[in-house]
Amino acid sequence: MIDTLIFDFDGIIIDTETPDYLSWQEVYHSHGVELESSLWSEFIGGGEVFDVYQHLEKLTGNRIDRDALKEQRRRRYLDIIESKPLLPGVMDYILEAKNLGLKLGVASSSSRDWVEGHLASRDILRHFVSVKSSNDVSNVKPDPELYLISVAQMGTQPENALAIEDSVNGITAAKQAGLYCVAVPNDMTREMPIGHADLRLESLSDMPLKSLLTRLTEAGPSA
């Protein structure tokens, strides 16, 4: 029986991934080159780090003032994110999970300050009994460590927990940890091969949580 719901953060609770790409795409365009979305998507959700500065220098053949560019791009990125609401269905799932008596957590490859800051600014941090981030583990997703420490802290077993993820790395981490996993891709992850999730939804608003739990438990977790 599923008694715990664990959200990924970036791309699931708030769409931080599309603004991240778009703000870098603006930078690349200002230098007369293109940042391919297919390349960018390979590095979403943890795992290997993409050196976006090195790639820009390779495409332009010029050295880049990394410090100045970092600050300029970061301001633009944060401005976009501040205007972003919670993704559709997120608040409904939080409230329905609490009504059903499920424990709520977040497991993210991003930093604690990033995740908790955005959750607090939108007044939803208080709903989660566990928030695990890159600060808490030696290895981020696709390693299962984040999910394993999350379920341990929340006093449940992996087979009783459901992860909501949007990327290959996140789904892989959840499944390797032994959780159920539902994929909810966004604009940056929609073309990823995410067939190893137990179920795919285009939006959390497509299916009430109670119906989702019934469907998953009747089918059982995929390998």
**142-182 pLDDT, tens digit each:** 999 999 999 999 999 999 999 999 989 999 999 999 999 99
Taken in order 54, 57, 62, 66, is the CA torsion positive or negative? negative
pLDDT at position 223, please?
Answer: 63
Domain ranges of the chain: 4-15+85-219, 17-82
pLDDT at position 47, please?
Answer: 59
Burial class of residue 105 in the structure, from the number of CB atoms within 10 Å of its CB (0-12 exposed, 13-18 middle, 19+ buried) = buried
Q: Which two tokens stand for residue 196?
A: 């190893």
Whether domain 4-15+85-219 has CATH 3.40.50.1000: the reply is yes
Beta-strand (E) ranges in 16-166?
A: 103-107, 130-132, 161-165
Farthest CA pair distance, the chain: 57
Catalytic residue among 10, 15, 20, 166: 10
For the whole model, what pTM was predicted? 0.87
- Give catalytic status of residue 20 as yes or no: no
Catalytic residue among 8, 15, 20, 166: 8
Q: Please state, in angstroms and rounded to a whole number, the distance separating the CA atoms of residues 138 and 147.
A: 13
